Amino acid sequence: MRFPCGVKRELPVLYSLSPMVLRAGQDEERVLVMGILNVTPDSFYGGSRTFLSAGAAERALRMVDEGADVIDIGGESTRPGSRPVPPEVEMERVLPAIEAIRRRSEIPISIDTRKATVAREALARGASVVNDVSALRFDPELAAVVAEGGASVILMHMQGEPETMQVAPSYAEVVSEVVAFLTARVEAAIAAGIPRARILVDPGIGFGKRLEDNLALLRGLPRLRSLGCPIVVGLSRKRFLGDLQGGLAVEERLEGTIAANAVAVVNGADVLRVHDVKEGRRTADVARRLRPLSLH
């Protein structure tokens, strides 16, 4: 990918470690696809869940075959209304899965966690990215773990906490507020010793957002490029897509996801976080060619 305002720098670790990108000889404009793998009993979409480490490895390998560039593993659901789980429980879920995948593949692994202890152990077992929905605010020790581990970090915007974030969220101008928040969190990460080249940002679609906020953020993605960091968008099968179609259940939201992912890529997304990798890969490859020249 290229960066706005004349910024030129090395690609984040997420990019440089991707054997899928390197083997395919892709250019720097490739949109990456992050496959979601939840080792939880309560994530909102059952199709992303698995409970055995061997099953996690098999699913990850299928995602690689379908075009995934990175696998995002989570052991704690952050769906609306969810409650935190102890780090010991989270590690019992994710660490065997990471080890099983790493024994069979070099695919980059992202650990979806807010906790320093979980991230430290995940990085020690082969993860290279920390995907933190709290943008390094939940655990004050997490920034140091990322910096010392040489990992990349995804900083996401969220209003409130997962348990309460959908209780009357409110914004005066959501895009401006999200840009301001992410600007501050990028600066905080850099101050903690994380190089800018290892920082990605996520506007947090569905995390403390109303329907109109989600739509405004999708339309306003080009404004996030002023941050000079790759943009991660995760909207796969989320509730607002069902609401746009009369209240479709999560199992019926694939077509809406494809349409919204295409809009996200056209508007500047660099990484799509998806449940359905094959469809996400094909969507990304076509939609990237439809971007306005101003976003290339």
Give the pLDDT of residue 5. Answer: 33
Residue 294 burial (10 A CB sphere; 0-12, 13-18, 19+): exposed
Longest Cα–Cα distance of the chain, Å, equals 48
Say what the alpha-carbon torsion angle 79, 124, 35, 286 is, to the nearest 10 degrees.
Answer: 130
Amino acid at 35: G
pLDDT (tens, 9 = 90+) of the chain, 296 residues, equals 333 333 333 344 454 444 333 333 455 678 999 999 988 775 544 554 555 666 888 999 999 999 999 999 999 877 676 678 899 999 999 999 999 999 999 999 999 999 999 999 999 999 999 999 999 999 999 999 999 999 999 999 998 777 666 777 889 999 999 999 999 999 999 999 999 999 999 999 999 999 999 999 999 999 999 999 999 999 999 999 999 999 999 999 999 999 999 999 999 999 999 999 999 999 999 999 999 988 87
Calculate the alpha carbon distances from 22 to 18, 28, 50, 64 in Å: 6, 10, 29, 14
The 3-state secondary structure of 14-29, one letter per residue? HHHCCHHHHHHCCCCC
104 is catalytic: no
Name the DSSP class of 138.
S
What's the CATH fold of domain 13-290? TIM Barrel (3.20.20)
Structure tokens at 260: 């919204």
Give the pLDDT of residue 8. Answer: 34
Give the pLDDT of residue 171. Answer: 93
Give the pLDDT of residue 47. Answer: 52
> Looking at 238, 253, 281, 288, which residue is catalytic?
238
Q: What is the phi/psi pair of residue 249, to 5°? A: -70, 160
> Looking at 79, 253, 273, 281, which residue is catalytic?
273
Q: Name the one residue in this structure whose structure tokens are 């696809």.
A: 33
Beta bridge partners of 231: 201
Amino acid at 112: D
* Domain spans in the chain, listed from the N-terminal domain onward: 13-290
What is the reported pTM? 0.88
Give the pLDDT of residue 30. Answer: 87
238 is catalytic: yes
Q: Residues near 132 by Cβ (< 8 Å), separated by ≥ 6?
A: 113, 114, 138, 142, 153, 154, 155, 156
